[in-house]
Structure 1
Amino acid sequence: MLALVPLLAALPDAPVRGIAPAAAQQAGGETRPALMITSTQEPTWARIRLDFAAPVTTVARAENGVLVVRFAEPVEIVAERIGEEIPSYVSQVRRDPDGTGLRMALTQNFSASVLPAGEIVFVDLLPEAWRGMPPGLPEDVVAELARRAQAAEARFSAERAARREGMPTPMPVRVAELPGLTRLIFAAPEGVPVEARSSDGSITLFFDERLDLEPERLLPTIPGVAAVEEDDTGEALYVRIDLDDGFVARGFREEEGFVLDVEPRDAEAGGVAPVRAALGLVPFLPGEGDAAPIPPARPRAEAAAASASMEDDAAATQLVEEPADEPVVEDAAAVSEAPAIAPVAAPAEPAPPRSVPVVSVVDDGLRVVFPFGPTVPAAAFTRAGVLMVVFQTPATLAEPDLGGAASDYAILESVVREGPFVTARMRLPEPRVARLTPEDAGWTLTVGGAADAAPDPIAVGSIVDEAGRTALELDLLDATGVHWTDLHEGGERLAVVTAPGPARNMSSTRRFAELELLPTAHGIAVAALADDVVVRADLDGVHVTRGNGLSIALPSGPGEGAAGVPLDLVIDFDAWTQAQRGDIRDEMRARLDRIVEAPIPERSRARLDLAFALLANRLAPEAAGMFQYALEEDPELAARADVQMMEAILAAERRRFDEAEALLSTDAMTENPEASLWRAYADAMRERWVPALTGFRRAARVLDAYPDDLQGRMRLAAARAGLAMRDFGYADEQLTDIARLHPGAVAADEVDLVRALVDVETGRTEFALAELTRLAQEGARPIAAEAELARVRLALVEDEITPDQAIEALERLAIAWRGDSVEVEAMGMLGRLYADAGRWRDAFFTAHMANLVFPDHPVTLALHETTAQAFDDLFLSGRADDLDEVEAVALFFDFKEFLPIGRRGDEIVRRLADRLVTLGLLDKASELLAHQVDNRLEGAGRAAVAARLATIHLMNRHPADALTTIENTRIAELPQAVRRVRNLIEARALSDLSRTDLALEVIEDEAGPEIDRLRADIWWTGRRWREAGEAHEALAGTSWQEDRELTDRERTDVLRAALAYNLGQDGIGLDRLKAKFADPMNASADARLFALLGDPDALATPGFRDAARDISSEDTLLDFLAALEARHPEAALSVAPVVEVGLRTPEPEPDAAPEAEAPAPITEPTPVSIPGPEARAEATREAL
């Protein structure tokens, strides 16, 4: 290994740390992505983290103690300290001069695993003896990738919805003409799905978006185009293009949009064919029906990355170069991945290396040498007379020349590339043995003849994987890839597993229910008989399984040794059944006598025998007491494995499953097959179904050896585990095995219940419903409770009962049965049914109780999430508008635990504050909004909510608090509406604090009806009577000129104007007001009051003081707020419902006014003996 140090030192000196030289930083004038490298060392492996400024395709290969990391493009290495951070793995590091790679000297041989994650790439160094899956991505990286995917999906959906709701997006159509070819480029927006179909001489393009064609010239004037029709459905665009006779069209998708080429049909033999072949176009011929899928354009970056990733393998491949003009066989997939558009005269990029097989006929067979080199992974097998040879390499394979005498042994059918694999298919005229062996020159295929040496066989075994599924394991440890292909078009599906040399094979066919393992010359071939067969090449071999596992028997289970010999079990069948025979009391008494009579060294064994007998007779607490006494008397017993197992079983039988799991998880119990069974049972009892199902499968042979009563209980738990994991076949197997046990080993109703639940899931609902109904009526209480829950669920799905009937049945069940999953599942169903029925308090209370009683149960967690969503919808989607205001507020404060976190929760709080305002609960509303302003919000949102809070303070007669709120949340940049509302509220607060001049200054530059009313209120509050009178007179406007009755608001403005003129002793203003409004006011209900206030000497008139007090006490705040809301509904607090709940008493309708309020003739007021008029006027002014 030390020899590697001089080797790396001989490389060009480019220190890893620091910044590369300026000449290397710029390649072709382009800025290179930066790279940060950090390394961490775990106990058994090391991780190198590469942080790029942008995603860069990275590959890594560890070979002969050197790790080579290559990048698809030059990168600027900013800093790294790999040798210092993981000295046990890396001794030296060198950067390639062009910035496209790193080379590291390893301290020993390691394997490399690459995990890309966006702009981050992880390179893990694993020991050669590593088994199992390689380390995964860190949780924070996975979470960030998920967040990005969700954000991108949400952004795409929002943009698409916005485009569909708005005007159609223009789609330019560009036209380009080439010799004998006209190209139409439909520049559809990025991400818009495009579909093309052809029929009867026309092409129909479907754009799944609202688009508007904007061709640069009329499309029907283009040669070959007869007519064009557009159809905008409101959600998509259909474009139909009719072609002239003798023309065909070809289309494909590229980065700029969808491209359609129109050309004469006879151009096939002309100069257009090479252009079309280079472009990889798919023809749409009239009458073909649906066209082939549109080939996607391959981005240049992707091609460069693929080239970089394969550079080393290609360099290691032994090639025989051929002339460039010799035809190359390529398949459709390779053509479809060619660049979408390429200039006709542009020089072709260098083709990948080509390998030409060397064919020779020997004495008794055919010999074909594929000069790829022995390290290129390969596989070969014969199926139905077809010999398939598969290589995993980027190099191109030329067709082998199998003419002449070679055709007696094999006839070439095709050479096809499919992704990274290239396959040669040869038909064998007669059955012959094929062998594939690695040699220095490459892989040698021999058909017929004698074998020099037999390849090593590939062993096959059966396992249970980490998901609890039965699987086949084949010990081809250096398998490199799995290639799925068809034997013939529409034929059976085959999975081919490639591997480098030396040759290893399957010598014979292995048949199973869902698949066949075919005989191979090298590698593995799997014929899938089921649709969901999965073949995986892992570090510890090749695994073959399916969704619910394979239907195969394990060759030897945990209950047997390698030769099938039963292992020693603590639960011995004979001893268990012996303890259950005869009278239990006599048996226990006899065992106690044996303890007393036994010599001291043998008493511990006798005590354990008594504990075992008590356990066999379902007396677990008593057995545990005797067992503990035995341990106290003889502490050395605790070191025995069987005693430890017995202690764990006693804990499980007393339903102390956490304690049992701890005892069964020690190092001594890890490989104990009986411990695996009891761990599975403990998991099943706690409804941890995944490990339970896995454990039951692995311990199948131990379970078979158990006594019937114990075996029956465990098989019932195993059936429930299969049912929960939707492995209904396994559940049915367990129920069938229970039927073979001794009658009475398991209660018949328990078996019938589980079988009915399986029938529900497998579609036999009629039988299941009948059986569940019977069990609910006749079964024991635990069985009846679970059966009733399942019956209600099934009957509701099958529309056999109504939701109200289901609620009634579940309410009875929730009261009658408590404390297990039946109760929490009943509560979960009730909560959802209550919500669907609009019984919100019942729904929220049910979820609240579930949180209290079963806080960690999955049903509770799901119910809480559903209820929180219902809470959200109730208060944000308008469904709460139908509720009584008091009930809506009570629901919020009673069930605040379901308030969502974040912006939606903040919006619910703000809407609730509006409801509190309508109910007159201003203190509570201000408390909620104050919390939002002080703790939750910032920026413009905080300023907007602060305006609402200040409004509530004004309504609550706290103008100082309103002014403080506005001042503490002032920021420079605000939306116009929010800024205006805040200014008006600030002015009103200043007015209420008698800071009249400052209030007027705040609204000096504002205009509008709400401003005029606010200004009038400010004048009034500041006792500027003349200005207040003029302002109220202006508010009444020209209503005196209109032929109608004055509104309540207009009459109030006129009365306040008259009062202000009187208090300000403005006779001119009062005369002007009377001249305008005398007639309409005399015809109104306020005629007498207007006559009183219109008198110049009204101050000295009896009743003036009361009239003035009534008019002045009229609250104008709500009128101001209503006007503010009408002008700025998006920023102001809604006060429309306030009048309805009593904050301001509405005036009676005119039709309902009492007769005493009817208009009366105007008469002169009667003089009264009072103090002087000046004294009275001054007293009135002071009172106001």
Structure 2
Amino acid sequence: HISLGISRAKAQTTAPKVLSPAGPDGGNEIVTVRLGWDEPVAAAVFRRAGALWIVFDKAKRFDVEKIKEQAKKAVLSLDQVSAPRGTFLRLSTSPGMNPSIRRDGYAWVLDFKKQPMAAQTPIEAKLQRTLASGPRIFLPMVQAGEALPFHDASIGDNLVIVPIIPLSNGINKRHSYPEVRILPTLQGFVIQPRIDDVIVRSTSKGVQIYSSSKLSLSPPDPKAEAKSRIRTLSVMKRIFKSDVWRLARLEGMKEFNQTRQEMMAQIANSRGNAKQNARIVLAQYLFGQNFGYETLGVLRQIQNVNPSIESSAGFRLLRGGSKFLIGRYEEADKDLGHPSLNESDEGQFWRAINQAGRGALVAASGALKATGKIILSYPKRIKIPLGLLIAEAAVRAGDVEFATNYLQMISEDEPTDKEVDQLALVEGKLQQLVGEFDAAVEAWESATEGEHRPSVVQAILRKVDLDLSRKVIKAKKGIEELERIRFSWRGDDIELKILRKLGRLYFEVEDYRNGLRTLRSAASHFGAHPDAPKIAEEMSGAFVDLYLKDVADSMSAVKAIALFEEFKELTPAGEQGNVMIQKLADRLAQVDLLEKAAKLLTLQVEFRLQGEEKARVGARLATIRLLNKQPGLAADAITNSDEKDIPPFLESQRRQLLARSYIDQGL
């Protein structure tokens, strides 16, 4: 359990360092496989002898044919292998296709694409040589599942698989010892005993590996340990020395107005280079206090006096960083991509944080992990929002230890109330990723009591999502919660997520009109969004299900036709749409709504059909007109649907209907 102790009263942390997960990262085409569960389960994912294995610590029979169809571009074959305990899936994948892992509620989701297979959070085996009970190997891991013995028939040896809850925690390199091997994994642990009496035991703190005959463990490598320590002590290459931010860091906002006035007076009273230097000091101070627009104004004055300064790293970083602060990410890219920033860690950091600001969190996470500590010397007015974005990227990438460290750092830096709300939101995401669902809900409930409206809205949306997946609430309650925040935040991805979720929930409770209206609102307001085609496809799919798969049979015929007329633009072209209209017309005719049925078929005859199908539907239209005592219109239906080369039985039927219409007209 990861607890940052974030509350309205105090933002402090008692967070233990826990590891975990992974998610998709742009680039080439992604094929997604979703493995649903109704309860929390631990998982292990690893490759062996060319096969990809997915193992869960609880038993379930999956529809492997459905999964293969779902993943046909990535998965060549899939089998569920029988085992005494747990669930074992063996896959053969296309060359180079490897999964990253994420979780949606209790479901495990694997995103396949061409990428290396490595755990986002590698676990190092700890060798415990001096225990009274004898040497053992310890793999630190909270929420390790049951150790599952397994005979790999394809190779002919025995393994012990330990699935775990935290995401993308695994072993990135093989550990070999005389009596046991620990194999590489994307998720969980795979132990290969080399003697019969190796024991593998899961505990609350991790996995113990030992033997009744005592393991033989080689002594530690002092050189390797020293190199590891040196790597953690690497010095960041900065563009600005740390003391540039000293005044903003020490004062905060307490003396801001006075300090700014003094700096502006210094500019006014200076001449030549001294005036320009005073402007630079003011720009740095404003930037450190998170005043992006004001910083840009001062930088324009500096550039007007000295155009060549635009080629300097400091100017480019301040201007690009200021554009990042005000959300102009594409403009910021132009400055932060300048060659003058290439050789500095600080330049690399700002490029990565701007990438994260654009939404490419997973892609930016590696660079942020390498350079993120650059912000430790920054004033907290920029350090806290930057740290929050770093933590968000770490969560999305599955590096929970990294995320926890940054959230801990932020929570100890006296965040404002609104920043506490944002902390609580990210903490909830972190808890969800490591499987602590109750703690996630608790964090989000704390955020909903706050003042930062985007965090309040997102916390409610995430809580509803999680509660629905855990079956804590029903769809109607979810609708109530989301309708409450529907108009609280407008115009960005948050609103789009709310509308899409609402639309699906309305479908779930069979309120198809509100479901389609909600999705139509999303499609119209977010027409330029990359997901707009998916929303349109979702609406069309729901509409087709209503009238082609008989879902609309649950509503009255009057409501069915009213709904059809409101959303008739969703009627698919071609045969599928024709069948849909005819089925609806038949249903209307069965309940004596003959005029409405006739109008539907008239549109088909006039605008949608050709050939034999037009003649057949014209005959059906004529029948309905006769039943509705409209013989003249029945004759028109036959005349207007006259086609050549139709089957004799249909020709005979049409003649009979035409004759009947003449008789009824007294002709």
Flag the 1:621–1:529 CA change in 2: closer, same or farther, 3 A. same
Match of 1:840 in 2: 512
Q: Give, as a single letter, the amino acid of the residue that structure 2 aligns with 1:770.
A: E
Residue number in structure 2 paired with 1:980 = 649
Query: In the TM superposition, what are the counterparts of 1:180-191 in structure 2 within 5 Å?
Result: none
Q: Is 1:634 aligned with 2:306?
A: yes
CA contact (8 A) 1:899 1:905 kept: yes
SS in 2 for 1:957: helix
Q: State the Cα distance separating 1:846 from its structure 2 match.
A: 0.7
Q: CA deviation at 1:887?
A: 2.6
Alpha carbons of structure 1 residues 665 and 854: separation in structure 2 relative to 1, 3 Å: farther
CA 726–951 in structure 1, closer or farther in 2 if over 3 Å, else same: farther
Cα displacement string for residues 1029-1078 of structure 1 (whole angstroms, at most 9, x for unaligned residues): xxxxxxxxxxxxxxxxxxxxxxxxxxxxxxxxxxxxxxxxxxxxxxxxxx
Partner of 2:220: none
SS across alignment from 2:158? coil
- Structure 1 pair 800–882 and aligned structure 2 pair: CA distance change class (3 A): closer
- The equivalent of 2:173 in structure 1 is 515
1:551-607 Cα offsets, whole Å, 9 max, x none, are: x99989xxx99994432324x432223135261122112221222233324433332
- Aligned CA RMSD, in angstroms, stands at 4.6
* Residues 963/790 of structure 1: CA separation in 2 closer, same or farther (3 Å cut): closer
Change over 3 Å in CA distance of 1:562–1:902 after alignment to 2? farther
Alignment-derived partner of residue 970 in structure 1: 644
Q: TM-score, normalised by structure 1?
A: 0.36
- Once the two structures are TM-superposed, the CA of residue 772 in structure 1 deviates from its matched residue by 2.6
Q: Answer 1 or 2: higher relative contact order, Cα 8 Å, separation at least 6.
A: 2
Report the CA distance between 1:626 and its aligned residue. 1.7
Corresponding residue of 1:566:
236
Tell me how far 1:672 sits from its aligned partner: 5.4
Q: Which has the higher strand share?
A: 1
| Structure 1 residues 902 and 616, CA gap change in structure 2 (3 angstroms) | farther
Q: Which amino acid aligns with 1:568?
A: R
- 1:407-426 matches, within 5 Å, as none
Give me the whole-angstrom Cα distance separating, in 2, the residues matched to 1:593 and 1:488.
82
1:433 match: none
Q: Please say which of residues 947-956 and 832-841 is displaced more in the overlay.
A: 947-956
Does the Cα contact within 8 Å between 1:486 and 1:492 map onto a contact in 2? no
The residue number in structure 1 matching 2:185 is: 531
C-alpha contact 1:914 1:925 (8 A) present in aligned 2: no
Q: Provide the residue aligned with 1:614 in structure 2.
A: 286
Residues 919 and 630 from structure 1, CA distance in 2 versus in 1: closer, same or farther, beyond 3 angstroms?
farther
The SS at the match of 1:490 is strand
Return closer, same or farther for 1:778/1:748 CA change in 2, 3 Å cut-off.
closer
Deviations 1:1131-1176 (A, max 9, x none): xxxxxxxxxxxxxxxxxxxxxxxxxxxxxxxxxxxxxxxxxxxxxx
Match of 2:140 in 1: none
Contact 2:289 2:379 in 1 (8 A): no
Would you say 1:927 and 2:599 are equivalent positions? no
Aligned counterpart, 1:867 = 539
* 1:738 corresponds to 2:410: yes
| 2:444–2:459 contact (8 Å) kept in structure 1 | yes
Q: Which deviations, in whole Å up to 9, do the C-alpha atoms of 1:123-152 show, x marking residues without a partner? A: xxxxxxxxxxxxxxxx9xx99xx9xxxxxx
Partner of residue 213, structure 2 = none
2:337 & 2:122 partners in 1: Cα distance?
A: 25
- CA deviation after TM superposition for structure 1 residue 655, in Å: 1.1
- Equivalent pairs counted in the alignment come to 476
Alignment check: 8 A CA contact 2:260 2:282 kept? yes
Aligned mate of 1:490, from 142, 154, 158: 158
TM-score (norm 2): 0.60
Change (3 A) 1:956 1:671: farther
What is the Cα deviation at residue 941 of structure 1?
4.9
Displacement after TM superposition at 1:961 (Å): 5.3
Aligned partners of 2:503 and 2:518 also within 8 Å: yes
- Hey, what's the Cα distance between the residues in 2 that align with 1:632 and 1:784? 43
Equivalent pair of 1:645/1:675 in contact (CA under 8 Å) = yes
Give the drift of 1:674. 3.2
Q: Does residue 1:697 correspond to 2:378, yes or no? A: no
The letter of the residue matching 2:518 is T
* 2:352 is aligned with 1:680: yes
Equivalence map 1:149-168=2 (5 Å): none
Alignment correspondent of 1:957: 632
C-alpha distance 925-944 of structure 1, shift in aligned 2 (>3 A): closer
- The CA deviation string for residues 522-551 of structure 1, in whole angstroms up to 9 with x for no partner, is xxxx965443389xxxxxxxxxxxxxxxxx
The CA distance in 2 between the partners of 1:642 and 1:879, in whole Å, is: 63
Q: Quote the Cα distance in structure 1 between the aligned partners of 2:119 and 2:345.
A: 16
Q: For the Cα contact (< 8 Å) 2:352–2:368, is it kept in 1?
A: yes
Matches within 5 A, 1:705-854: 706-739=378-411, 741=413, 747-854=419-526
In 2, the alpha carbon distance for the partners of 1:929 and 1:615 equals: 68
Q: Is the 8 A contact 1:468 1:697 kept in 2?
A: no
Counterpart residue type for residue 602 of structure 2: S
Task: Please tell me whether the aligned partners of residues 712 and 745 of structure 1 are also in contact (alpha carbons under 8 angstroms).
Answer: no
Q: Which runs of 5+ in 1 are unaligned?
A: 1-138, 147-207, 209-288, 290-463, 473-483, 494-511, 520-525, 535-551, 992-1013, 1022-1111, 1115-1183
CA contact (8 A) 2:119 2:185 kept: no
Q: Deviation string for 1:741-770 (max 9, x for gaps)?
A: 466598333222221222233332223333
Q: Which residue in the other structure is 2:167 paired with? A: none
Q: Distance in 2 between matches of 1:470 and 1:588?
A: 45
User: Cα deviations across residues 67-109 of structure 1 (Å, max 9, x unaligned)?
Assistant: xxxxxxxxxxxxxxxxxxxxxxxxxxxxxxxxxxxxxxxxxxx
Counterpart of 2:607, as a letter, is H
| Amino acid in the other structure paired with 1:515 | K
Deviations 1:1111-1143 (A, max 9, x none): x669xxxxxxxxxxxxxxxxxxxxxxxxxxxxx
Separation (CA, whole Å) in 2 of partners of 1:804 and 1:609: 57
Q: Is the 8 A contact 2:236 2:371 kept in 1?
A: no
User: Once the 2 structures are TM-superposed, how far is the Cα of residue 849 of structure 1 from its aligned partner?
Assistant: 1.0
Look up the match of 2:131.
Answer: none
Q: Supply the distance in 1 between the matched residues of 2:542 and 2:391 (Cα, whole angstroms).
A: 35
Question: 2-side partners of 1:639 and 1:834: how far apart?
Answer: 56
Aligned with residue 888 of structure 1, among 554, 560, 563: 560
Query: How far apart, CA to CA, are the structure 2 residues paired with 1:824 and 1:598?
Result: 52
Distance 1:695 1:860, change over 3 A: farther
- Report 1:217-236 matches (<5 A): none
Q: 1:577 corresponds to which letter in structure 2?
A: R
Distance 1:898 1:722 in 2: 41
Report how far residue 831 of structure 1 moved.
1.1
In structure 2, how many angstroms separate the alpha carbons of the residues matched to 1:485 and 1:553?
A: 38
| CA shift in 2, pair 1:908/1:988, >3 Å | closer
Q: 1:704 to 1:579 in 2, by over 3 A?
A: closer
Question: Partner amino acid for 2:479?
Answer: I
Aligned partner of 1:588: which letter? R
Residue 889 of structure 1 contacts residue 915 of structure 1 at CA under 8 Å; is this kept in 2? no
Alpha-carbon deviation of 1:668? 5.4
Seen in structure 2, the aligned counterparts of structure 1 residues 714 and 982 have a Cα distance that, compared at 3 Å, is farther
Q: Which amino acid in the other structure matches residue 930 of structure 1?
A: E
* Cα deviation, residue 614, structure 1: 1.5
Tell me the distance in 2 between the aligned counterparts of 1:902 and 1:680.
48
CA distance, structure 2, for counterparts of residue 852 and residue 633 of structure 1 = 47
Task: Give, in angstroms, the shift of residue 950 of structure 1.
Answer: 6.8
Residue identity matched to 2:595: G
Change in CA separation of 1:641 and 1:717 when aligned onto 2, cut-off 3 Å: same
Q: C-alpha distance in 1, partners of 2:548/2:343?
A: 56
* Matches of 1:693 and 1:711, distance apart in 2: 17
Closer, same or farther: CA 555–691 of 1 in aligned 2, 3 Å: farther
Change (3 A) 1:487 1:1113: closer
**Shift in Å, 1:953:** 8.2
**What is the Cα deviation at residue 839 of structure 1?**
1.0
Kindly provide the amino acid, as one letter, of the partner of residue 712 in structure 1: I
